[in-house]
Amino acid sequence: MQPVYLGLIGCGTVGTGVARLLIEQQQIIERRTGMPLVLKYVADLDRERDRGLTFPPGVFVDDALQIINDPQVDIVIEMIGGLTVAKELIRAAIAKGKHVVTANKALLATSGNELFRTAAAANVDLAYEASVGGCMPVIKSLREALVGNRIQAMVGILNGTCNYILSKITHEGLDFSSALAEAQAKGYAEADPTLDIEGLDAAHKLAILTGLAYGMQINFEDIYIEGISAITPLDIQYADNFGYRIKLLAISKNRGDAIEARVHPAMIPMDNILSNVSGSLNAITISGHAVQDLFLSGHGAGMMPTASAVISDVVDLARNLRYGAAGRVPLMSFQPDQIRNIPVMPVSEIVTHYYFRFAVQDRPGVLAAIAGILGDNGISIKSVQQKGRQTNAYVPIVMLTHKAKEAHVQNALQSIAALGVVGPAPVLIRIEDENQED
Amino acid sequence: MQPVYLGLIGCGTVGTGVARLLIEQQQIIERRTGMPLVLKYVADLDRERDRGLTFPPGVFVDDALQIINDPQVDIVIEMIGGLTVAKELIRAAIAKGKHVVTANKALLATSGNELFRTAAAANVDLAYEASVGGCMPVIKSLREALVGNRIQAMVGILNGTCNYILSKITHEGLDFSSALAEAQAKGYAEADPTLDIEGLDAAHKLAILTGLAYGMQINFEDIYIEGISAITPLDIQYADNFGYRIKLLAISKNRGDAIEARVHPAMIPMDNILSNVSGSLNAITISGHAVQDLFLSGHGAGMMPTASAVISDVVDLARNLRYGAAGRVPLMSFQPDQIRNIPVMPVSEIVTHYYFRFAVQDRPGVLAAIAGILGDNGISIKSVQQKGRQTNAYVPIVMLTHKAKEAHVQNALQSIAALGVVGPAPVLIRIEDENQED
């Protein structure tokens, strides 16, 4: 059978994994697909890096354009990351009629609408399974397995760095900066960890999934994003007392004419399977009207798990090539002309349960004043506990609320701060508890 | 675009769910696929059953052959179950060049090799996602998402009835027959529950997955099968003391030139995510050399979750039809000429950890005699506990072993029985504990 020619642009960690799978698993891939997949080129600026692989002469090139300009190359695998060069190369590859595989979530979250339109117009495939959740087939599940479902919600742990750090704080009582340092030492966090710990990486992924799930434009800039750097062992301990764990969740809910899409630390019940996803694993619960809850979990990052997802895409595209079936599954799950502009709800409009921790002056009437403000804002308290001892003239009070609207909660917190009896930095953590009706 | 014409044969529970999704979700399916899927026929012997659906005139027919003989029908959906009529109808549909979707695990486990060969020779697709794990895309994951992986192992909870019963015994202390009665009352178990509780249903599913994962013939008759009817609250309690839960596991391991494939109750550590899969849910961990562990969980049965998987297949086949791409993904994951005859290891050859419970006479030397026999058979004891009080002149003793070969274990148990100091029915439960090296 006709070989399929591949060009890999970017041979860093994941790119090396992709090359390794293509070389070392060539036989089993051909036994499955019936097609020889030939890695014709690998382009990277760093020729000297030890990748543990020997490429035949002529395969390793310095210039990515050599790949894009070779008419024999069928599929371009973009593994360089970043926004500018990667985008130019993908656009150039599409313009040459080549199918593209990428794992570039930041690029798709910010320029996906444009790139998918361009690819569809050129009748080429643009595949991106590895952009979300590493080895978990979450994109394939949304585009194919759940095709008969109206998607109702997705709740995911989509950033392994944050999950590793929160697991460390939870299970070993480390504070945030020690847990971060350990994550960095183990290679789970970058030297500049901002993209991960501030929730941006999870939000990139959520933006992609949200577009796919509901047949809408990708709307990264409308996602509410809050990271984990303010999470303390104290709040994790209090959460534990209430039967909750704290996870950085990426949450998307179908509210009919609008969508909730938000990334923030949240408390989830111990009996929610997501609460048991520890360390650097990723996981997601996808709720569809027919399946109810489908749960996936696996390594969301790392050389080989991510490379496995890239190979899955490469093989899908190779199979399409064989039958002239590009676009067989539309890139964004819905036909291009069926993608709608559905607004993302402002976070002020969401309704959920809340956990508050205040440091309050230990004197009569303070609790009554706080409770009064919450009541005036329509926020109903489910439980109040005074926890721990007085420090710096303040005593800590934690509260769980019934369902409340975020706008009312923010109003109330402002009024409570204005009372002058509450210490600095009140803590608000949202609760995702499907066991609680109201 | 050209419509795709579907004929549904069998409109019981799952068939009704399939019809419902095709009718009620017609619009969203067309927005995704770009193709109208037309349910041209529904055949069932029971015309009167209230399905909550209204079919247009001429759709409901009594004779399945009317569907198979209509040249306009592209895809036949077999939902009648059973081995004989279903097989004849599938063969007839293939002979007419129709693509087939089925959920019939018993049929595929016993006649799959033949049916897949017949379908491949006729260049038609035969899809079966709903045959294993209901809504979980486990077939799609093995055939597509993990295409770059050598599959190393699969450990699954593939029978919701057994999982429901074991969860009831575990969490509510019911005995087996009460838990079964409750499962029957709730519709989770059939009036004749044999197929489920004796492990046959899980073994059918494991047979299919094992063929798919390793590129080998389906070998149902070689799978070791043991059901859950002998599981007692006492053993579940002892398991809990050791940090284990008891689940009916379907286990398949790649041992190179042979395969382990077995279904039996097993103890698994509480920190294994499978131990937290409760009630009627299904779940599976697939281990591939690149992904490490991929975990899926969802409803493994029921009208709509199973129908969702059927629709996923129908859409895959409709997409293939559009491009003349039948066989785009080979039916058994590997190209037909690459399917090998890999033997299933006899259970006597497996090596794992064991739990024993003996009722022994409470007199000196008994434990030494038992330990001696185990030692003579090369079985090393990890812990021994005497649990509970003497009853009927016997005291219970439980033991955990280091890794041992099943043949040696069975030998030892025979010799121990021959001692004449051990009461009736010694209990053996295998342990799947990846935390224990030896």
CATH superfamily of B4-135+303-336: NAD(P)-binding Rossmann-like Domain (3.40.50.720)
Give A211's contacts in chain B (Cβ within 8 Å).
none
H-helix segments, B377-437: 406-418
Which residues in chain A touch residue B334, judged by CB atoms under 8 angstroms apart? 31-32
Whether residue A342 contacts residue A258, with contact meaning beta carbons closer than 8 Å, is answered with yes
- Judged by average pLDDT, the poorest of B178-187, B287-296, B384-393 is B384-393
pLDDT mean across residues, chain B: 96
Dump the DSSP string for B50-99.
Answer: --S--PPTTTEES-HHHHHT-TT--EEEE---SSHHHHHHHHHHHHTT-E
- Selected catalytic residue, list B205, B253, B387, B403: B205
Partner residue facing B308 (CB), from A135, A148, A311 = A148
Query: What pLDDT score does A423 carry?
Result: 86
Query: Average per-residue pLDDT in chain A?
Result: 96
What pLDDT, on a 0 to 100 scale, did the predictor assign at position B424?
80
pLDDT at B77 over 80: yes
pLDDT of residue A287: 98
The secondary element (H helix, E strand) that includes residue B288 is: strand B281-288
pLDDT for the residue numbered A389: 65
State the catalytic residue, choosing from A87, A105, A168, A205. Answer: A205
Point out the residues of chain A with pLDDT beneath 50.
none
pLDDT at A425: 78
Homologous superfamily of domain range A350-431:
ACT domain (3.30.70.260)
Give the pLDDT of residue B11: 97
Dump the DSSP string for A168-189: HHHHH---HHHHHHHHHHTTSS
pLDDT of residue A388: 64
Considering only the top CATH level, what class is A4-137+303-338?
A: alpha beta
Query: What integer pLDDT is reported at residue B280 of this predicted model?
Result: 92
Q: Which of A13, A135, A152 is the mutation pick for testing B, counting most B CBs within 10 A?
A: A135
Q: Could you tell me the CATH superfamily of domain B138-299?
A: Dihydrodipicolinate Reductase; domain 2 (3.30.360.10)
Q: How far apart are the first and last CA of chain B?
A: 61
Sketch the domain layout of chain A as residue ranges.
4-137+303-338, 140-299, 350-431
DSSP 3-state percent helix, strand, coil across chain B (nearest 5): 40, 25, 35
Catalytic-residue membership of A205: yes
Amino acid of residue B369: A
Which of B150, B312, B323 minimises the CB distance to A323?
Answer: B323
B3-28 pLDDT, tens digit each: 999 999 999 999 999 999 999 999 99
Q: Which of B25, B288, B298 sits opposite A308 (nearest CB)?
A: B288
* Alpha-carbon distance values, B367 to B124, B308, B355 (Å): 63, 55, 16
User: Do the Cβ atoms of A354 and A409 come closer than 8 Å?
Assistant: yes
Tell me the ipTM for this assembly: 0.97
Question: Which residues in chain A are closer than 8 Å to B1, comparing Cβ atoms?
Answer: none
Q: Which of A298, A312, A323 lies closest to B293 in CB terms?
A: A298
Q: What gap in Å lies between CA A255 and CA A33, rounded to an integer?
A: 41
Q: What CATH number belongs to A140-299?
A: 3.30.360.10
Identify whether the C-beta of residue B215 lies closer than 8 Å to the C-beta of residue A33. Answer: no
Contact A299 B292 (CB under 8 A): yes
Nearest CA in chain B to A213: B32
For A209, the token pair is 């999934």
Q: Which chain B residues are closer than 8 Å to A154 by Cβ?
A: none
For residues A361 and A77, give the distance between their C-alpha atoms in angstroms, rounded to a whole number. Answer: 60
Residue with tokens 């890096």, as numbered in its chain: A49
Determine phi and psi for A218, rounding to 5 degrees: -70, 130
What's the pLDDT score for residue B377?
98
Report pLDDT for B197: 97
Amino acid B94: pLDDT: 98
Give the CA count within 13 Å in the CB-facing half-sphere of A51.
24
pLDDT at A216: 97
pLDDT above 90 for B82 = yes
Query: What pLDDT score was predicted for residue A391?
Result: 64
| A128 CA: distance to closest CA in chain B (Å) | 12
Beta strand B151-157 pairing with B281-288: antiparallel
Whether B335 and A299 lie within 8 Å, measured CB to CB: no
Distance between CA atoms of residues A431 and A429, nearest Å: 7
Residue B313 has pLDDT above 80, yes or no: yes
Measured between CA atoms, how close is A349 to chain B, in angstroms?
Answer: 27
Percent of chain B predicted with pLDDT > 90: 92
How high is the pLDDT of residue A438? 87
Contacts of A94 (CB under 8 A, 6+ apart): A100, A115, A118, A119, A122, A124, A126
- Give A299-345 pLDDT, tens digit per residue: 999 999 999 999 999 999 999 999 999 999 999 999 999 999 999 99
Q: Chain A contacts of B299, Cβ < 8 Å? A: 291-293
CATH level 3 topology of B348-431: Alpha-Beta Plaits (3.30.70)
SS3 assignment, position B336:
helix
Residue A255, CA distances (Å) to A204, A210, A272, A294, A329 in order: 21, 12, 22, 19, 26
User: What proportion of chain B, given as a percentage, has pLDDT over 70?
Assistant: 99
Q: Per residue in B33-58, pLDDT tens?
A: 999 999 999 999 999 999 999 999 99
